[in-house]
Homo-oligomer: A and B are copies of this chain.
Amino acid sequence: MASGKKFRFMASIKRKEDAPEFGFGNNANNAHQRVLNPDGSANIARLGGNKFSLINIYHALVTMSWAKFFLIVSCSYMIVNFLFAILYYIIDPNAISGMIYSSELQKFEEIFFFSAQSLTTVGYGRLNPTGTFNSSLASIESFIGLLGFALATGLLYGKFSRPTAKLLYSKNALIAPYSNPRFVDKASTALMFRITNARSNQLIEVESQILFSYNEEVDGKLIRRFQRLKLEVEKISFLAMSWTIVHPIDDESPLRDLTKDDFESVDAEFLINIKAIDDTYVQQVYARSSYKWQDLIWNAKFVSVITQANDGRTAIDLRKISTYEIMS
C-alpha cells in the first residue's frame, strides 16, 4: 500500500548538518516500542549496572513517590528497632533495668520498646541499660538513630527541593489550518499541542523543542531517525497561562507531504522537551513527553482555557487543557 510512497518520501528528507544529536541511536528493531515513556524517561533497560550502590539507592529514594518513601522509612525504623531488640534479648536480656513483665513475650516487648526509646533518643529512662554489653549496644543504637534521622532530613529536603516541573500536556496534538502573517506564504497547516503549569509555582523562561522521530529504510534495513522541528515561538518569558506550541508545516518542514497513513507507516513519534526555570528556587527544570501518531487529531483547534474567576480576575481552567473542537 502506501509504504512505497513513504520510503520515497523519507529518502528525500535532508538531515540538517547542525542538527543536535538526540542520543537515542538509530536502532529500530522494535519499531512499535515508544522511544520515551509517558513520564518522559527513556524506554531502555540497563544490563550489568549496579542498582544497589549507595548513590543509586539515594536517587531512587529521592525520585520515588511519597507513599513509597514513607513506607520504606517506616519499615526501616521498625526493622532496625527489631534487630537491636533481638540482640539485647539474645545476649543479655536481664541487663535492661526497670522492665515490668509477667511473661517471656512481655519481656521481649519491654526490650523492643527500650530499643525504640534508644533509637529515637527519647530515652524515658524507666527502661535503661546496665552492664557493658547493653550499654555499648544502646549507645551504638542511639548513634545510628541520629545518623538515620540526619539521613531522613536530607532525603526529605532532597525530595522537596528537587527541581521538577509538573506540566499538563494536551492529550492530543492537532494538525490544523494555520495562518500567521509572518509565515503567510509558506504554511497553511501546523502541528500544535498545548501545555500549562500544573503547579502553583511560576515557570519562567520556558523553552520548547519538538523532535520528530520516524523509521527510514536504508539499504533494506529500518533505522530510526530523529529530526528537530522548527517552532513558531521557541521561548516565552513567563508561563502564566497556557502555551500552544506550534510547528508551522511550511515548505521546509519534514511533515510537509505526509498523509495520515504516512504517519502510521513510519511509526511517527513526536518527542517533546520543555526547559524552564522554576521561580521558587530559581532552578532549571526539564520536562519530557511524547505524542505518537495515534495521538494526532486532524482539523481541530483548541478551546480557550481563559475564563473568569469568581472574584472577576482572569483565570485559567486547567481542566480544559486537552479540550479541542473539530473545525467545520
Contacts and interface: CB of A to CB of B under 8 A. Distances in A.
A43 interface: yes
A202 interface: yes
Given A44-B240, A100-B130, A282-B284, A154 B157 contact: yes
A318 B152 contact: no
Interface string A3-23: 000000000000001001111
Interface in A221-237: 233, 235-237
A192 interface: no
A179 to B, nearest CB: 14
Interface stretch (A86-94, A250-258, A292-300, A302-310): A302-310
Contact of A237 (B20, B122, B319): B20
A62 interface: yes
A122 B138 contact: yes
Contacts of A56: 199-201
14 contacts: A21-B236, A24-B238, A47-B317, A54-B66, A56-B200, A58-B160, A59-B200, A97-B126, A113-B129, A121-B123, A122-B138, A124-B127, A126-B128, A277-B284
A146 interface: yes
Interface of A: 17, 20-25, 27, 29-30, 33, 41-51, 53-56, 58-60, 62-63, 66, 73-74, 77, 81, 97-98, 100, 109-110, 113, 116-118, 120-130, 132, 135-136, 138-139, 142-143, 145-147, 149-154, 156-158, 160-163, 166, 182, 198-202, 204, 206, 211, 233, 235-241, 243, 273, 277, 279-286, 306-309, 311-320
B122 A44 contact: no
A30 to B, nearest CB: 6
Quick one: copies of this chain in the complex?
4
A308 B154 CA distance: 37
Contacts of A285: 282
A120, A312, A318: most-surrounded residue (chain B CB, <10 A): A120
A151 B146 contact: no
Contacts of A135: 109-110, 113, 116
Interface of A is mostly: mixed
A146 B139 contact: no
A73 B24 contact: no
Contacts of A156: 147, 150-151, 154
A155 to B, nearest CB: 8
A161 B160 contact: no
A150 B147 contact: no
B238 A51 contact: no
